[in-house]
Each structure stands twice: as C-alpha cells, then as structure tokens.
Amino acid sequence: MRSNLERMLRAGHFAVCGEMSPPQGADKAAILTKCAHFRDVVDAVNLTDNQTAVVRMSSVMSSVFALEGGVEPILQMTCRDRNRLAQQADILGASAAGIHNILCLTGDYMSFGNHPGAKGAFDLDSIQLIHTAAEMHAGRFECGDEIKTPPSLFIGGAANPFGEPLDFRIIRLGKKIRAGAQFLQTQPVFDIPRFEQWMTAVRGEGYDTLAYILVGVMPVRSVRALEHMRDNVPGMRIADEYIARMKNAADPKEEGVAICTEIIRRLRATPGVSGVHIMPVMWESITPRVVAEAGLLPRPVLTPVADVEAGGAA
Amino acid sequence: MSKLSEGFAAACEKVPAVARLIAFAEDCFKKPVFGCHSCGQCELSQNAFVCCMRCPKQIRNGPCGGTRANGHCEVYPERKCIWWLIYQRSQRLGWRKKLFKYHRPVDRRLENTSSWLNMFAGRIEPLSLDNGEAYEADARRQEAELRERRGEKG
C-alpha cells in the first residue's frame, strides 16, 4: 500500500506538501475546515506533533481526521513525548488507519512550550526512530520480534540546510538515509545561496538519488515574522534582501506570497529537488494561492495503474 | 571481548558490592572529567571524548536542527552544542570518519552500571581507538547497497 505522496515522487512529479497545526482543543471540525485549503491543492499535508512543545490534538488522531477530510496526511512523530513502545504502538495504529507517510523528528525541547516543567522522553533520537520505522516496515519491532501484519510506511526525516557545520550536516543526512529515510523535508528557505551550497554538497554525495528532497518554503505576512525567525528561531537563516523587500512593501501579504512563489520557482529549477513543503504558520488558507501562482496546479491524479507503469517495484 | 575479560567481568559482578565499587570508581573519574551521565554504554572513544549524553535531548546521533549559528545549544544558549564540540574535536584528532557510525538506541537497563564492566562482559562495543576508517567504509557500502536494491529512490 503506497501513499499518494510516494507514488507521486516515484512517478517523477514535482511534489507539493502543505502543513497544518492540529487545534489546541477537542475540535475535530477545525481540522475538517482546514482540509478545504489543501484538498486537490497539495499531495500530502504534515500534521505536527505538539509543535514547539505546545499541547495540541495528537498528530495521529488529527491525521485520521485529515483522511476523513479528503487530505493525505504526513504524520509527524517526535521523540520528546513518547518512548519506543508508545511510538511503535502509534505507528501500528496509524498504518492500520490508512496513514502511511511518517516524518520522524527529535522534537522541540519542553522549555520552548507551554509545559516547560514536563519530563522529556527522548528514549530514541530521530535517526533511531527512522531506523525503527524502517525495521517495522520490514516486519520487525525495535526489539527484533516479528510483526505479523507489518505497517506500510513511507519514511521521512528532517534536514537543516542552514545548520553549522555544513560538513557534519551532510554526514548526518547520510546517516538518516542509511537508517531508512526515503524523503527529507527541510527548514524553510530564505537564503538561496546558502541553500544552493548545501544542495551542491547533497548532490556531491549522491544523496538526492537515494532520497527525495522536499524543500521547505514559508509565505509570511509581515516583516516582523521574518525578523522574529531570524532573531529567535535557532538554525534559521534569512537573507537581508527579503527583510528589506517585506519592509518596503506597500502590501506585505502580497509581497510575502510573491517572495514565496519566486523561491518555489527557483527550487523547481534546482537539480536534485523533488518537491516543496509549504508551511505557512497559522496562515494555512494562503496555500492554494501559493500553489496556483507557483504554477503547480492542477495536481496530477495518480491511479493505481500509473503506479505500475512507473515501475515501482518493492 | 575475550574469554579472559568476560571471566573477569563475571567474577566482579558475582559480588554486587564489587560491581558497585567499580561503577563508583568509573564515576569518580568520568563525572568530573567528562561530565559523564552514567549511561553504562560509554561512547566517549567514538565521540572524541565528549559525552553525548550531556545533550539536553540526549541525542546519540546528533546534532539536532537547532544548533545556533555560533555553535551554541538552542536550549541553553550560554553552552556550546555538545555535537558541535564533538565535531570540532573529532576534526582535530583526525577522527571525522567516526561520525559516520549509526549509534543504536540506549539500553536503559545498563544505566548507572559500569561501562568498563559492560565492555569486558561484551555487552557493549569495545573502545574505538582507530580513526574510524571502517565506519566510513561501512557507510559507503550501505549506500551502494541501497542504490542497487532500490535501483531508484524509495
């Protein structure tokens, strides 16, 4: 059972992912409403897992609701809130519910969120979680026991093109791929030269041929959002050019969309980039416009027949 | 390790007080010198003698995405990122290739036991005293296998 995202990538289409934050309440309708922004606009949507360590509806249940809303989910799973038993239990449940894309993350530290006194699990790290997921897909639990009905997974990891030192980041990327990552999603790009430097190193190792690289982009509404990320989000790099453009824009929202689509077009022309991951923060409704203006609509519709034609043997 | 070392470890562990004494001696040395967290499966020799358990997220295959541009930790901005230190020191020692190794999940049963005894008993990996050539070669072999098996991505 292959996910739509996996089939899309295997067929060689330039993939588009969105991102949705689950609600901070027992509000299923909120997810179904947001699904309308993504249906037939993106190939899959990330459902975040207590992002920035703030409690929200669980990513597994939110993913189930997203499926109900007609959107293919990418289940984000962190190592912060669950040990290896709970993680594997959730993977089994998710796959049984029809969720096959999983993004394995270490997770933001508790002190960044709304329960700073919480105990962090950090039983596995993200690479060990990727390895565990790959083992489960192959029919084994982390302990080595056999899984009678194994989950069917398309496994992803995160990559930070702006992390230092670059050399070590590439080594670690290779580790994720060898552990079993089939796709990688990156931090949002606001610094094209530095991103290209990273991408050149990735291509140099041939990692773009071993995993699909989905590059993060972020439409922003104001110059403040950019400045906030530059000053407060570790591991982010924002080129001064974009700050100046947002500052001088008559309509910052329009400029934010223009910058985002411009970056998408650049990425689409970059060798080794297999798709984009659009992650507006609390501005999901802008996704359809960004996808349309970047020239990525309509999304290809794959039938199971197309899957066979694409030659996707297991 | 060897029959001899396994025999030594078994003899020490037969008397819990002796095993505790050895663990205590190890702590006395490693805690002040390396900031050891007593995981019982020491990887100091893999990580250029920087204890990776000092990372707030206890990442064994670091660093996380949040390292600051100045090489400091996202959680404790006043401290250096542990994995940044590991990388810098590995470079200085000519041990960069050791960083290619995948580290398995921590066996929590070994926490607060002696890594020395666990090593003698063959429960954990022996000290790594070369430059990690074999780790890189192993990584490249795995990548070639992946390429072959998949023929393409995925």
% of chain A at pLDDT higher than 90: 93
What is the residue whose two structure tokens read 């969105």?
A: A18
pLDDT at B123 over 60: yes
Q: Which residue has the higher pLDDT, A312 or B85?
A: B85
Chain B residue numbers touching A164 (CB-CB < 8 A): 67, 69, 71, 84
Same domain for B119 and B135:
no
A164-168, A270-274, A289-293, B36-40: least confident range: A164-168
Same domain for B133 and B63:
yes
pLDDT at B153 over 60: no
pLDDT tier, B129 (very low <50, low <70, confident <90, very high otherwise)? confident
Nearest to A125 among B61, B67, B84 (CB): B61
Nearest to B64 among A10, A106, A179 (CB): A106
- At A166-199, the pLDDT tens digits run 999 999 999 999 999 999 999 999 999 999 999 9
**Cβ partners under 8 Å of residue B151, min gap 6:** A313
Task: Report how many Cβ contacts below 8 Å link chain A to chain B.
Answer: 118
Same domain for B115 and B149:
no
**Cβ partners under 8 Å of residue B10, min gap 6:** B121
Total of domains in chain B: 2
Chain B residue numbers touching A177 (CB-CB < 8 A): 143, 146
pLDDT tier, A312 (very low <50, low <70, confident <90, very high otherwise)? very low
Same domain for B3 and B68:
no
Same domain for B84 and B61:
yes
Q: What per-residue confidence (pLDDT) applies to A308?
A: 47
CA distance linking residue A146 with residue A156, whole number of Å: 23
Interchain pair B102, A179: CB under 8 A: yes
Q: Containing domain of residue B30, as a range?
A: 1-41+108-123
Nearest to A164 among B71, B102, B108 (CB): B71
CA angle A302, A304, A310 (to 5 degrees): 75
pLDDT at A310 over 50: no
Domains and CATH numbers, chain A: 4-309 (3.20.20.220)
Same domain for B153 and B134:
yes
Same domain for B96 and B147:
yes
- At A67-102, the pLDDT tens digits run 999 999 999 999 999 999 999 999 999 999 999 999
Same domain for B89 and B19:
no
Token pair for residue A21? 């934050």
Mean pLDDT of chain B: 94
What is the residue whose two structure tokens read 């947001």?
A: A34
pLDDT at B152 over 60: no
Q: What per-residue confidence (pLDDT) applies to A25?
A: 98
CA distance linking residue B16 with residue B39, whole number of Å: 18
Which residue of chain B has the CA closest to A12?
B153
Chain A residue numbers touching B96 (CB-CB < 8 A): 167
* DSSP output for A212-252: EEEEEE---S-HHHHHHHHHHSTT--B-HHHHHHHHH-SSH
Chain A residue numbers touching B99 (CB-CB < 8 A): 168, 171-172
To probe the interface with B, which of A1, A9, A128, A182 has the most B CB atoms within 10 Å?
A128
pLDDT at B121 over 80: yes
Mean pLDDT of the B6-34 span: 96
Interchain pair B106, A123: CB under 8 A: yes
Give the residue numbers in B contacting A (CB under 8 Å), as ranges: 56-69, 71, 74-75, 83-84, 87, 96, 99-100, 102-106, 108, 139, 142-143, 146-147, 150-154
CB atoms within 10 A of CB A119: 9
Mean pLDDT of the B11-22 span: 95
Q: What per-residue confidence (pLDDT) applies to A305?
A: 53
pLDDT tier, B98 (very low <50, low <70, confident <90, very high otherwise)? very high
Same domain for B57 and B26:
no
CA distance linking residue A277 with residue A213, whole number of Å: 10
Mean pLDDT of chain A: 95
Same domain for B70 and B146:
yes
Question: Which helix (H) or strand (E) is A78 found in, with range?
Answer: strand A73-78
Q: What is the ipTM of this complex?
A: 0.96
To probe the interface with A, which of B82, B101, B102 has the most A CB atoms within 10 Å?
B102
Chain B residue numbers touching A84 (CB-CB < 8 A): 105
CA distance linking residue A103 with residue A138, whole number of Å: 17
Same domain for B112 and B93:
no
Q: Coil, strand, or helix at residue A93?
A: helix
Min Cα separation B124/chain A (Å): 16
Same domain for B35 and B88:
no
C-beta separation of A104 from A68 below 8 A:
no
Taking only Cα atoms into account, the Rg of chain B, rounded to an integer number of angstroms, comes to 18
